[in-house]
Chains A and B, each alone.
Chain A
Amino acid sequence: MDQKVTSKALLGELLDKHYQDAIDAKARGKLVAWSTSIAPQELLETMNIKVVYPENHAAAIGARKCAQEFIDDSESKGYSIDLCSYARVNLGYMSIRDSIAGNIPMPDFIFCCNNICNTVIKWYENIAKDLGVPIILFDMPFNHTYEVQEHSVKYIRGQFEDAIAKLEEISGEKFDYDRFREVMAVSSETARWWKKATSLAASVPSPLNGFDLFNYMATIVCMRGKQEGLNLFKLWAEELQEKIRNGEGPWKTGEEKYRIMWDGIACWPYLSDTYKTLKNHGINMVTSTYPDSWTIVYESNDIDGMARAYSSNYVNRNLDYGVDNIAGIVKEFSLDGIIYHSNRSCKLMDFRQYEVQRRVRERTGVPSVIFDGDQTDPRAFSLAQYETRIQTLVEMMEQRKQEGRCER
């Protein structure tokens, strides 16, 4: 045990443990919840209730290239091809209940928050109805104003209080407010370290190969309220700082020629294809709009602050914020270009994408491309189309760098 554990190895261990703990809890007759990816997990952690995240699980199934079986199952039940593919994978998993990507126990109740997506409510309602289990719903209204309004904060706070009462009823145990304060503190601290680690990619060259972000993201979803999660992100930040000190770039071989941002979710079934196409051109995805969703930071014991933080997720905020956010990222991370993933599954993210692209382009002058794909449905992506768009982006970035001079 002299060898220092890397954050990557620790990440794998923590994820395995996360799933195993949930399976063990279920076997011992303990409660298990299914939750959306950016829900107030603090409440569940306080009550020591094990949680699994169907979106995380669906992404893992997608990345293991075995989503089709689950998608076929749910489509044959009548779920439309136009629905989110995470939903189709998960609704298929509910009947198949076995995957090489790992298994999750069935839930005793549903924990659903619509700050990430408006249609997710219907998906989770269907799970609850199918399984005959209770649902705790957090309605976080879309912020048409730039900042979260006070009336929304009050509305959300009321829902937190209501959820606590429901959790006490479901579990038959009292909610421990002292423990809640501790969990809030750990959650905020973990989110801070997550932000710190991901921000280190602003160094040139970036010590971080951005596709690693997608891996670490699985843990910020499910480990935010835990000390282990906090330790992981501290370790990761240290490793990245060490790389910066040594002047190391994102890869063992190959130079970081272009720095780009990826807007939206990954194409999990084509993770390595999409990555290799970029790497072959020397493109490093240094950051993405997506990971910042878990930078949920507030003062401990400040429930209003917690309500505001959960409602502030970028997909829950208005167009002006969306544009400012990306324009800010372009500057902070010294970007050469932007790739927008027009994700067939995610209407919420795609809806304003063309307008965001137009405004960001106008404001920053940085070239960008939009490609069509999907987060988990392997049928909705064409590698040749992706390659052409990426190569065009390279040509535009190169033009901008060299002003017409030919480079070979």
Chain B
Amino acid sequence: MYMGIDIGSSSSKAVILDKTRRILASAVVNTGTGTQGPEKVVETALALAGLFPEDILYRVATGYGRMLYGKADRQITEISCHARGAAYLVPEAGTIIDIGGQDAKIIRVDRDGRVENFVMNDKCAAGTGRFIEVMARILDCPIDQLAELSTRATEEIAISSTCTVFAESEVISQLASGAKRENVAKGAHHSIAMRVAGLGGRIGIRPIVVMTGGVALNLEIVRALESEIGYRIVVAENPQATGALGAALYAAECNL
């Protein structure tokens, strides 16, 4: 059996594959690097698959915390792992959009799922999961209900600031002057979509577009992004675990 472990900034993910590369277990824990998250997610995945640690022949770690996790046989970047995972799920994928807790990346892949080129956000939280967390907090809305709030909007309140801190104060002043939460929520979703689409413009987006990472669970962002880039987006099944899936696929390959 092969395991891929994706240790992100705000969550840990693990996927176990059998010898035929069938997914035996997939687990997500909402704490990331520097916490018990990585240990916990490995235990959970093993329990789900009914396996013991010694059953795992090869482990590949990926994500921001890949170098700090001591139990992997190899570390591979999240860029290659998301590409591999997404191409496994959607073999015709041309572009992968991955939005995680602290970064957003657009990866162009060739016909064999190999990374051709990629672009990531720089030292800026705009267009990442962190931006959504900040917006959810000031709109006083649980993060998993933010999309639903946005669907009730009657109009969109545009957020012009790119900087997360500026956007936060912009939203506070919008709310103070009577703007409706749902309308602001819609603007927040659009803001992320614009930022990510802008990033995509740098390397060029080629269909089919697959979206991975935790933010893909927010369908309002997916919809806003579709209208910004002009292509339909296929959301990866279990999008948060795509990086871990890619890592597990590499693990299977490495153990040949």
Contacts and interface: CB of A to CB of B under 8 A. Distances in A.
B35 interface: no
A370 B210 CA distance: 23
Interface in B37-59: none
Given A392-B80, A395-B80, A404-B112, 4 more contacts: A358-B203, A367-B116, A385-B123, A399-B115
B236 to A, nearest CB: 20
Given A395-B77, A396-B115, A408-B74, A342 B122 contact: yes
Nearest to A368: B117
Contact of B117 (A361, A372, A388, A391): A361
Interface of B: 64, 67, 74-80, 112, 114-120, 122-123, 202-204, 250, 253-254, 256
Contact of B78 (A370, A382, A388): A388
B254 A382 contact: no
Contacts of A342: 122
B254 A372 contact: no
Interface string A315-358: 00000000000000000000000000010000000000010001
Interface string A7-30: 000000000000000000000000
A354 B119 CA distance: 10
A369 B67 CA distance: 20
A384 interface: yes
B253 A406 contact: yes
Nearest to A395: B80
A406 B256 contact: yes
Given A342-B122, A372-B122, A406 B77 contact: no
A81 to B, nearest CB: 13
Contacts of A133: none
A384 B119 CA distance: 16
B114 A392 contact: no
Contacts of A358: 203-204
Nearest to A361: B117
Those 3 A-B pairs whose CB atoms lie nearest each other, nearest first: A372-B122, A392-B79, A392-B77
Contact of B77 (A370, A391, A404): A391
Nearest to A407: B254
A367 B108 CA distance: 12
Given A342-B122, A370-B119, A388 B77 contact: yes
A380 interface: yes
B80 A404 contact: no
Is the interface on chain A under 10, 10 to 19, 20 to 34, or 35 or more residues?
A: 20 to 34
| Residue with the highest number of chain A CB atoms closer than 10 Å, among B74, B76, B117 | B117
B202 A404 contact: no
Interface string A374-386: 0000001010110
B130 to A, nearest CB: 15
A408 B254 contact: yes
Nearest to B256: A406
Contacts of B117: 361, 367-368
Contacts of B64: 384, 388
A357 B80 CA distance: 20
A388 B121 CA distance: 13
Contacts of B115: 392, 395-396, 399
A281 B120 CA distance: 21
Contacts of B203: 358
Contacts of B118: 369, 392
A408 B80 CA distance: 16
B76 A395 contact: yes
A404 B204 CA distance: 24
A396 B256 CA distance: 21
Contacts of A406: 250, 253-254, 256
A367 B123 CA distance: 23
Nearest to A399: B114
Contacts of A369: 118
A404 B114 contact: yes
A370 B202 CA distance: 12
A380 B122 CA distance: 10
Q: Which of A368, A388, A408 has the most CB of B within 10 A?
A: A388
Contacts of A367: 116-117
Given A372-B123, A382-B123, A406-B254, A354 B77 contact: no
Interface in A148-177: none
A232 B42 CA distance: 58
Contacts of B78: 388
Contacts of A368: 117
B104 to A, nearest CB: 13
Contacts of A384: 64
A382 B64 CA distance: 12
Contacts of A395: 76-77, 79-80, 115
Contacts of A408: 74, 254
Contacts of B76: 391, 395
Nearest to B76: A395
A361 B117 CA distance: 9
B101 to A, nearest CB: 14
19 contacts: A342-B122, A354-B202, A369-B118, A372-B122, A380-B123, A384-B64, A387-B67, A388-B64, A388-B77, A388-B78, A388-B79, A389-B120, A391-B75, A392-B77, A392-B80, A395-B79, A395-B115, A396-B115, A408-B254
